[in-house]
Amino acid sequence: MKIGLFIPCFIDAFFPEVGIATLELLERLGQEVVYPCNQTCCGQPMANAGFNAECAGTEALFVRNFSGFDYVVAPSGSCVHHVRDHFDAIDQTPEVVQLRARTVELVEFLHDILKVDAFPWARFPHRVGLHNSCGTLRRLRHASASELNEPRFSKPMDLLSKVEGIEFVMPARPDECCGFGGTFSVFEETVSSKMGYDKVSDHAGAGAEYIVSADSSCLMHQKGCAERIGVPLKFIHIAQILNGAAA
Amino acid sequence: MTRQGEPRSARPASEDRDAIFRDGRRLDHAEASSKPLHTPAEAQPRGARLRGNRPVDQAEAAGRFIAAPAHQKMHDERLWDLRQKRDREMHGIEEWEELRALASAVKEHALTHLDAYLEEFEANATRNGVHVHWARGAAEHNRLVHGILADHGARSLIKSKSMLTEECGFRHYMSSVGIEVIETDLGERIQQLDNEDPSHVVVPAVHKLRTDVAQVFAATIGTDPDNSDVHYLAEAQRQSNRPLILAADAGMTGCNFAIAETGTFVVCTNEGNADLSANVPKLHIASIGIEKIIPRLDDLAVFVRLLSRSALGSPITQYTSHFRGPREGGEMHIVLVDNGRSARLGMAEFWTSLKCIRCGACMNTCPVYRRSGGLSYGATYSGPIGLIIDPTFNARKYSNLPFASTLNGSCSNVCPVKINIHEQIYAWRRELVKQHEVPFAKKAAMKAAGELLSRPAAYRAAIAATRTALDHLPDFVVYNPLNAWGKGREVPQPPRQTFHAWYHASRGGKS
């Protein structure tokens, strides 16, 4: 199986360690991974602000970079959500339709496609609170949503449970949005920050040392909020824990 | 017999003194209540500043709400409590998701056959002895009702809560023609006395602390401004309002569901105030939005099971009143109001917003609404449903509203009629860009970002030229200057190298 590795723009720029962990993890699991060097972004920043036509060039570039792989894997739920559920500024040729369907988020790839049942190299003896980003929770369906009357499940929890020594804490409002929301974070910075303060306080109150998530954008926002109000939490991407990060 | 010496009932010391307990279980008022304020009184933050047709600045008003922490905290916790109660009710009904799907399908059917059902409703209501009128817009509705009142020489009108009449600016109009309107819903009466719009479709004064209500009542009905005891305030309002109700010349209600096959309509309240409005005076006028139609009486069961559970987390409203025709010696009028609904029905991406049954569940769950207060939206409808309805009334004035969302999707998940609210918020953003209702600077930034991100060489050069990714990236990723990010949050530390650079350095030959 040939995997195209999609490292979204802000992970490339701010969180290279997340990209590295993703690449190493996929390789440990025996995958053939290619990082197309001309990649930039999926178009989400413009699309979420309503500027769909402005995404056409970026989307066309994405197709040029990633066509032909068995799967495109990215360690970012919101970007994958954009590719799968929006991404319609360009003609929906069979090639585009197939690429969109085969673009998957890392947790989905590990849980649903590779069905990984062990991470023997991973040990994380810490109390962690899991943050499902809204895109992964309600669109990619990483986990059951508290608003729906449906059987409980959680793919990231299934994976993390296989890590030695890890302990979970449950915040009072586990599904509440952290307030990042892309351009929302600056367009409505007061509400966004307040949501972030409440989120990190909820996790800290539950006894978390770390917040773990499949979305670095939420973590970047929450980290900024925690530092501002002095909540002593650490933040880590799920790829890092599964790849055996020692903390 | 004396009860002295009996053990006092065990009651957690932290609970509200005024709470009522039975069998050790706390009984809440159906619409919940705010806890006493232990901090010094904080002035009530007011809503958005309206400036004619200029775009409402929701973010600015939300900022002022957050700057009033006692209000914001109470508001967030009270509405979150409603959401949790809703969840409990949902888990008590095994077929909940089927019910939602069914309700959505019934509404879809009714809306796609609206012309026929409206005529069926009109014919049956007329047969029941009701006078049925049609109003194209708000002004026509107001004139029509005024005409009915004038025909009866009515000078005062008691009414129950109705979002449609809020849409129509009804109270304002009535005051301009010299007719006194008395709201009979407690929350709505508070808002009327404070000369403020409702901030929520179900709990209109939910943004107010009890101390705010004490101030309003002190200024308007003469209560003690320092007494914010809820029983005292409610009783004072009752004593002040009852004589007005008994003396009123006419009564008005809204409508939750209008049933085509019977020509009857249903009003759901928790205070019985719609029944007072409808039954005390001899003249009853009901204003009904045309989207309230459901085909059959059997369909009603689906909606009654969903409505109050979604709204307040209670199994049913205290009163579910069916109105069929005028009582002996009385007169009943129904005004069927369009006010933009037909136009909305023709909007391919937005017509399903007409399925809304005004339960407010999307507001209760919305993390932005809970922290902003409903008045920050500066529109009749606030919260998620407001973001997708308000722009249909005025795309320019409400052009900022669809951006007051993180697109988290919780609203769509709680919606009892399965409106894809957050997808419509997203679609409205596209629509507003198409209609040129977004600031030029934003458009320029997005255009530049789109061009840069579609040219890898230029993109890499831009990042390299700025020494660290940090200097450059947020500008085009989030269009705003970095200071908006840094105002309430610490700015992330830039790494030594990008992933791209690391990959080239460590895997150089491989790609």
Q: Is A208 part of any domain?
A: yes
Q: How many angstroms from the chain centroid is the CA of residue A199?
A: 17
Provide the residue range defining the domain that includes B491.
440-507
| ipTM at complex level | 0.97
The pLDDT value recorded for residue B492 is 81
Backbone phi, psi, residue B216, to 5° = -65, -45
Pick the more confident residue, B389 or B448: B389
Once rounded to an integer, what is the mean pLDDT over residues A207-232? 96
The pLDDT value recorded for residue B488 is 87
Here the CATH number for the domain that contains residue B199 is 3.40.50.10420
Least confident of A138-147, B457-466, B491-500: B457-466
Co-location of A146 and A193 in the same domain:
yes
Helix (H, G, I), strand (E, B) or coil at A161: coil
pLDDT of residue B20 exceeding 90, the answer is no
Distance in Å, alpha carbon of A35 to nearest chain B alpha carbon? 6
Co-location of A106 and A154 in the same domain:
no
The pLDDT value recorded for residue A7 is 97
Determine, for residues B490 and A224 on separate chains, whether the beta-carbon distance falls below 8 Å: yes
Once rounded to an integer, what is the mean pLDDT over residues B182-187? 96
The domain total for chain B is 2
Determine, for residues A188 and B59 on separate chains, whether the beta-carbon distance falls below 8 Å: yes
Instruction: Give me the helix-helix angle, A94-101 and A56-66, nearest 10°.
Output: 80
CB proximity B80 to A under 8 Å:
yes
Mutate to test the interface with A, among B489, B496, B497, B498 (most CBs of A within 10 A): B489
Domain boundary among A53, A79, A113: A113
Q: Which residue has the tokens 């509440």?
A: A176
The pLDDT value recorded for residue B179 is 98
Per-residue pLDDT band at B41 (split at 50, 70, 90) = confident
By percentage, how much of chain B surpasses pLDDT 90? 81
Co-location of A150 and A108 in the same domain:
no
- Chain A positions in Cβ-Cβ contact with residue B406 (cut-off 8 Å): 134, 177, 179-182, 184, 192, 195
Rounded CA-CA distance A162/B49 in Å is 53
Co-location of B176 and B323 in the same domain:
yes
pLDDT digits (tens, 9 = 90+) for A42-98: 999 999 999 999 999 999 999 999 999 999 999 999 999 999 999 999 999 999 999
Q: Is A20 part of any domain?
A: yes
Q: Is A75 part of any domain?
A: yes
Co-location of B196 and B329 in the same domain:
yes
Once rounded to an integer, what is the mean pLDDT over residues B40-48? 89
The pLDDT value recorded for residue B105 is 98
pLDDT digits (tens, 9 = 90+) for A11-54: 998 899 999 999 999 999 999 999 999 999 999 999 999 999 99
The pLDDT value recorded for residue B27 is 58
The pLDDT value recorded for residue B222 is 95
Determine, for residues A228 and B63 on separate chains, whether the beta-carbon distance falls below 8 Å: no
The pLDDT value recorded for residue B486 is 80
A186 vs B431, B480, B499: nearest CB: B480
Rounded CA-CA distance B359/B270 in Å is 13
Q: What is the mean pLDDT of chain A?
A: 96
CB proximity B408 to A under 8 Å:
yes
Determine, for residues A186 and B499 on separate chains, whether the beta-carbon distance falls below 8 Å: no
CB A73: neighbour CB atoms within 10 A? 26
Co-location of A35 and A66 in the same domain:
yes
Q: What does the H/E/C string look like for B289-338? A: EHHHEECCHHHHHHHHHHHHHHHHCCCCCCEEEEECCCCCCCEEEEEEEC
Domain boundary among B340, B365, B398: B340
Co-location of A108 and A142 in the same domain:
no
Instruction: Give me the helix-helix angle, B421-434 and B383-393, nearest 10°.
Output: 30
Q: Is A131 part of any domain?
A: yes
Once rounded to an integer, what is the mean pLDDT over residues B237-242? 96
Rounded CA-CA distance B481/B473 in Å is 11
The pLDDT value recorded for residue B476 is 44
Determine, for residues A150 and B93 on separate chains, whether the beta-carbon distance falls below 8 Å: no
Distance in Å, alpha carbon of A146 to nearest chain B alpha carbon? 8
Q: Is B72 part of any domain?
A: no
Co-location of A28 and A91 in the same domain:
yes
- What tokens does B169 get? 């600016």
Chain B, residues 26-65, CB within 8 A of chain A, namely 58-59, 62-63
**Residue pairs between chains A and B whose CB atoms are closer than 8 Å:** 240
Q: Is B368 part of any domain?
A: no
Determine, for residues B489 and A176 on separate chains, whether the beta-carbon distance falls below 8 Å: no
Q: Is B60 part of any domain?
A: no
Q: Which residues of A125-155 are buried (b: 16+ CB within 10 A; e: fewer)?
A: ebebbbbbbbbbbbbbebbebbbebeeeebb
Per-residue pLDDT band at B25 (split at 50, 70, 90) = low
| Cβ contact B404:B60 at 8 Å | no
Q: Which residue has the tokens 């914001």?
A: B72
The pLDDT value recorded for residue A247 is 61
Rounded CA-CA distance A15/A97 in Å is 29
The pLDDT value recorded for residue A158 is 98
Determine, for residues B503 and A11 on separate chains, whether the beta-carbon distance falls below 8 Å: no
Q: Is B359 part of any domain?
A: no
A70 Cβ contact partners less than 8 Å away, ≥ 6 residues apart: A1, A2, A3, A102
Domain boundary among B276, B305, B340: B340
- Chain B positions in Cβ-Cβ contact with residue A74 (cut-off 8 Å): none
Q: Is A247 part of any domain?
A: no
Q: Is A119 part of any domain?
A: no
Q: Is B173 part of any domain?
A: yes
pLDDT of residue B472 exceeding 70, the answer is no
B333 Cβ contact partners less than 8 Å away, ≥ 6 residues apart: B130, B131, B132, B133, B148, B283, B284, B285, B286
Rounded CA-CA distance A204/A210 in Å is 9
Task: Give the residue from chain A lying closest to B94, CA to CA.
Answer: A149
Here the CATH number for the domain that contains residue A209 is 3.40.50
pLDDT digits (tens, 9 = 90+) for B198-209: 999 999 999 999
Distance in Å, alpha carbon of B106 to nearest chain A alpha carbon? 20
Q: Is A30 part of any domain?
A: yes
Domain boundary among B316, B340, B364: B340
- Chain A positions in Cβ-Cβ contact with residue B469 (cut-off 8 Å): 12-14
Burial, B373: exposed, middle or buried (Cβ in 10 Å; 0-12, 13-18, 19+)? buried
Rounded CA-CA distance A33/A46 in Å is 28
Can you give the pTM of this predicted structure? 0.93
Q: What does the H/E/C string look like for B383-446? A: HHHHHHHHHHHCCCCCCCHHHCCCCCCHHHHHCCCCCCHHHHHHHHHHHHHHCCCCCHHHHHHH
Task: Give the residue from chain A lying closest to B67, CA to CA.
Answer: A190
- Chain A positions in Cβ-Cβ contact with residue B367 (cut-off 8 Å): 176-177, 179, 195
Q: Is B6 part of any domain?
A: no
Determine, for residues B409 and A14 on separate chains, whether the beta-carbon distance falls below 8 Å: no
CB B15: neighbour CB atoms within 10 A? 11
Q: Is A187 part of any domain?
A: yes
Co-location of A191 and A236 in the same domain:
yes
The domain total for chain A is 2
The pLDDT value recorded for residue B31 is 62
Q: Is B123 part of any domain?
A: yes
- Chain A positions in Cβ-Cβ contact with residue B449 (cut-off 8 Å): 45-46, 54
A48 vs B93, B407, B489: nearest CB: B407
Chain B, residues 298-337, CB within 8 A of chain A, namely none
Q: Is B376 part of any domain?
A: no
Provide the residue range defining the domain that includes A61.
2-113
Co-location of A165 and A58 in the same domain:
no
Could you tell me where the DSSP H helices lie in B92-204? Answer: 96-112, 114-127, 138-151, 163-167, 170-176, 186-193
| Cβ contact B283:B249 at 8 Å | yes
Rounded CA-CA distance A202/A207 in Å is 9
Co-location of B224 and B333 in the same domain:
yes
Domain boundary among A113, A142, A160: A113
Co-location of A16 and A88 in the same domain:
yes
- What tokens does B498 get? 């990008």
Once rounded to an integer, what is the mean pLDDT over residues B94-103? 98
The pLDDT value recorded for residue B440 is 85
- Chain B positions in Cβ-Cβ contact with residue A13 (cut-off 8 Å): 463, 469-470, 473, 494-495, 498
The pLDDT value recorded for residue A179 is 97
pLDDT digits (tens, 9 = 90+) for B290-340: 999 999 999 999 999 999 999 999 999 999 999 999 999 999 999 999 999
Pick the more confident residue, B31 or A197: A197
